[in-house]
Chain A
């Protein structure tokens, strides 16, 4: 078997009416990041290095909700989080509440490798970043005009986050119209999973969180077993409504179904997304030790891309239209 890689730029109600000028840059970005991952795998980088590399690239692209381009808290600030996991050793690292670190996923990796801990957050994480000498910039670097606009719209609509215990109150006039005039999904995350030809797996996920979130809110992305997981069976990175992913322990469940019920990657991933989480809340990318890929989602769409060593590759947003 050869290597396999899959990455995502967020699942959500990405409307089919997304105008070309908003769609094309994202497709291009997905293609670009996929190429980077493919090149690295062909150069025999480890899956752990590959997922970090690809997620760094996704973080640097302002079109996705991670690093630069992160959505804003209710105070108009940025609080970024990420996690990474090595399926071979089960070592993992996570960070939350970052405001100046250019690449959250790399700091998560440093937590994993250079501390006896797994998870550092807020001031402590920022201090650690300075100790480690990672690239930091003024917080304003991460803030984009689109996200300021999203925040304003969210505040106007007062529709910020969905309380997952309640059915969604549809107080908009048009149910199919997303809350934001620019047509972008307000939730998202980026992530990457990879497996090499020896079956070694790794996963990484990074995000700015939820638009208009309360300061200090932590989502699924840095929670091992929720947004990110990798072991000897598979590697998973999830995206969607954090609160649903946490209570569904989504990433861990895919692996658990494979391990305990002997399901295939596709079966396990589908069950978790279609049966164990509410519709409209979750998407994920996953690869297995055998080189399979699964990218299910129960939202309107998910920005995604994948490739295998035998030359197959795919970049897509919705179910029906594949770009290549």
Chain B
């Protein structure tokens, strides 16, 4: 028997000019979610139940970029995606392209448990949602005024910098962009932290992970990021559970979540070493962060960008909610 451990995140890559009020709101939400998870774990809930529970909570709150409050596509619509993985038998479920499902992570779980497949997307996923009778809302429910404003700014920014791979010199002199920090080709002030996630190891030593997102602001309709891709944004096996956030393309290329587990399994690294190794060596020019737990009851996180909304707690009473380094 190990002590349980839990970590949650609300995205990597934070505007250094984020108003204090927003920082406070974020920390409160993370604390609230941690407490929900802690309560469930203290009642012996399984890891996979806890990660679903916590991510549902994050999805329902418009503060972060998932479920309600999701980033918008170039068409101004919402296309949500999520995945969940149960480390014990490496069962997994994922969904993409959801436009009406209130809790994508729960649909991902149903794909894992009630369908013969691992991953359903777009109209097929929406159909499955109706078959399963999950809660649905009109697309407008998920769209917040904040994000409508962000989309407009993102479109303006993209007309100035159309190829995100080419660094633009001097754009920080452009009106409206105070911060020189950039992620995914957008100034950090309008980038929107990408994703939410939760990882848990329960008192039986079982690990689980779940990740949910609206994706990249102003993304092409149909664009799939790392969050629903097992091995990239989410991974859990016998030794650990990992959830990533940040530049989706960098996370996919680096198969980031799987990487943490692979260096633990194949190189014998401990959790924190594995996390540090992956963040240091697997991201090249990409920016990302991740949270992880191990079957030994450890919790760890790492990020190479400007801040990550996160919280972690272990059974022995340790608890921390932070944004910056």
Contact = CB atoms under 8 A, between A and B. Distances in A.
Contacts of B224: 94, 96, 118-121
B119 interface: yes
Contacts of A118: 224, 248-249, 252-253
The B interface, classified by DSSP as helix, strand, loop or mixed, is mixed
A292 B127 CA distance: 45
Of B85, B163, B216, B223, chain A has the most CB atoms within 10 Å of the CB of: B223
B28 interface: no
A116 B184 CA distance: 9
A120 B121 contact: no
Contacts of B258: 225, 249, 252, 256
Nearest to A163: B116
Contacts of B284: 90
The A interface, classified by DSSP as helix, strand, loop or mixed, is mixed
A224 B255 CA distance: 8
Nearest to A249: B231
A115 interface: yes
A219 interface: yes
B230 A256 contact: no
Classify chain B's interface size: 35 or more
Contacts of A256: 258-259, 262, 266
Contacts of A214: 115-117, 120, 124, 128
Given A122-B122, A217-B124, A127 B255 contact: no
B106 interface: no
A91 B123 contact: no
Classify chain A's interface size: 35 or more
Contact of B230 (A94, A115, A116, A247): A247
Contact of A119 (B94, B122, B252): B252
A125 interface: yes
Given A117-B219, A124-B220, A216-B127, A92 B122 contact: no
Interface in B99-149: 115-125, 127-128
A215 interface: yes
Interface of A: 90-92, 94, 96-97, 115-125, 127-128, 160-163, 165, 210, 213-219, 223-226, 229, 242-243, 246-249, 252-253, 256-257, 260-261
3 closest A-B pairs by beta carbon, nearest first, are A124-B222, A216-B124, A260-B266
14 contacts: A90-B253, A116-B185, A117-B249, A122-B121, A124-B220, A124-B221, A163-B116, A165-B91, A214-B120, A224-B229, A225-B255, A246-B118, A248-B90, A249-B235
